[in-house]
Amino acid sequence: MLKWTPINEMILFARLPTTHTKLPVIVCYAPTNEADDDVKNSFYETLQAVTKDVPKHDVLCVSGDLNGKVGADHKYCLEVLGPHGLGQINENGALLVDFALSNNLVVGGTLFEHKNEYKYTWTSPDGSTRNQIDHFLIARRWRTIPLDVRGYRGADAQSDHMLMIAHMQIKLRAQKKTQQDLKKLLMVLPKLFAAYPSSEA
């Protein structure tokens, strides 16, 4: 870990090294859907401030208990959501989608097809209610990096939340040789031939 910073009791920032680039992760615990609007707005203002300081070339991830349902109907925001969400969107879900849209993020758990039992991330104490409220977001330009995002029911985490894991593989595209590169090469070649003249008589 290159750096970690506890922003407040609800947000933690960490920056991890990878082979190709840096991986900043913002871990969140958002207010519940029943919380006051002032509390929700304060949370997202702080989260936005932290997100704004992340270098654009880093593979930004935002993860945690966002306490928001984004719903199964993704057509209202195709830029942010995939077709594999769950349930009905609620107020916190709308705030999350707005945040993702403003920061060019996608909700990773909606991108991959799974049975519903692997989409649920929270179960009420009486077992009667299950929701998808824990999320993994990644910068839209890196949306092909996650290979899978899902919940794992068998993990004993001593919590009413399921363990959620995102499998990622970071690959950078090879840079293409441009016309300008070719021109530079053609300018250098005569100098190389001049430095090493032919040995033939």
What tokens appear for 145 in the block?
A: 């990096």
Cα separation, 55 vs 96, in Å, equals 21
* Mean pLDDT for the stretch of residues 171-200: 61
**Percent of residues, the chain, with pLDDT higher than 90:** 64
**Percent of residues, the chain, with pLDDT higher than 70:** 84
> Do residues 102 and 58 make contact, with C-beta atoms less than 8 angstroms apart?
no
Q: Is the pLDDT of residue 137 over 60?
A: yes
* Mean pLDDT for the stretch of residues 162-170: 89
Residue 193 in any domain: the answer is: no
Residue 142 in any domain: the answer is: yes
Residue 162 in any domain: the answer is: yes
Residue 76 in any domain: the answer is: yes
Residue 156 in any domain: the answer is: yes
Residue 59 in any domain: the answer is: yes
* Mean pLDDT for the stretch of residues 151-177: 77
Residue 19 in any domain: the answer is: yes
Reported as a single tens digit per residue, the pLDDT across 25-39 is 999 999 999 999 999
* Mean pLDDT for the stretch of residues 11-40: 93
Residue 18 CA to chain centroid, in angstroms? 15
What tokens appear for 86 in the block?
A: 């769950």
Q: Is the pLDDT of residue 49 over 60?
A: yes
Q: What is the dihedral of CA 6, 132, 96, 4, to 10 degrees?
A: 20
Residue 178 in any domain: the answer is: no
The mean pLDDT value of the chain amounts to 88
- Which residue stretches of 17-112 are H helix? 37-52, 91-102
Q: Is the pLDDT of residue 140 over 90?
A: yes
Global pTM value: 0.81
* Mean pLDDT for the stretch of residues 126-147: 92
Which band of pLDDT confidence, cut at 50, 70 and 90, is reported for residue 19? confident
Residues in CB range of 113: below 8 A, 6 or more apart: 84
Domain that holds residue 99: 3-173
- The CATH number of whichever domain residue 20 belongs to comes to 3.60.10.10
Which band of pLDDT confidence, cut at 50, 70 and 90, is reported for residue 201? very low
Task: Find the range with the poorest average confidence among 86-95, 160-169, 178-187.
Answer: 178-187
Instruction: Give the count of domains, the chain.
Output: 1
Q: Is the pLDDT of residue 118 over 70?
A: yes
Reported as a single tens digit per residue, the pLDDT across 174-183 is 555 566 666 6
Q: Which tops the pLDDT comparison, 92 or 22?
A: 92
Reported as a single tens digit per residue, the pLDDT across 50-81 is 999 998 889 999 999 999 999 999 999 999 99
What tokens appear for 200 in the block?
A: 């033939």
